Amino acid sequence: MSVFVDASSKVIIQGFTGQHATFHAEDAIAHGTQVVGGVTPGKGGTTHLGLPVFDSVEEAVRKTGATVSGIFVPPQAAIDSLYEAVECGVEVAVIIADGVPVQDMIRVKRYLAGRQTTIIGPNSPGIITPGACKVGIMPSHIYRRGRVGVVSRSGTLNYEAVSQMTALGLGQSTCVGIGGDPINGTDFKTVLQAFANDDETDVVVMIGEIGGQQEVEAARWAAQYLTKPLVCFIAGVSAPRGRRMGHAGAVIAGDADTAAAKLDAIEALGHRVVRNPARIGETIAEVVRETGGPVPALSV
Q: Cis peptide before 122, with omega less than 30 degrees from 0? A: yes
Using CA atoms, how far apart are residues 233 and 275, in angstroms rounded to an integer? 6
Helix (H, G, I), strand (E, B) or coil at 5: coil
- Residue pair 14/81 in contact (Cβ under 8 Å)? The answer is yes
- Residue pair 26/142 in contact (Cβ under 8 Å)? The answer is no
Q: Which of the residues 24, 48, 141, 247 is marked catalytic? A: 247
Rg of the chain over Cα atoms, rounded to whole angstroms, equals 19
Extract the runs of DSSP E, i.e. beta strands, from the chain. Answer: 10-14, 34-39, 47-48, 51-54, 68-71, 92-95, 118-120, 126-129, 133-136, 145-152, 172-177, 203-209, 230-235, 272-274
Half-sphere exposure in the Cβ direction for 136 (13 Å, CA) = 33
Half-sphere exposure in the Cβ direction for 154 (13 Å, CA) = 24
Half-sphere exposure in the Cβ direction for 107 (13 Å, CA) = 9
Using CA atoms, how far apart are residues 236 and 262, in angstroms rounded to an integer? 11
- Residue pair 142/160 in contact (Cβ under 8 Å)? The answer is no
Is 247 among the catalytic positions? Answer: yes
Do strands 68-71 and 133-136 pair parallel, antiparallel, or not at all (unpaired)?
unpaired
User: Which residues form the catalytic set?
Assistant: 247
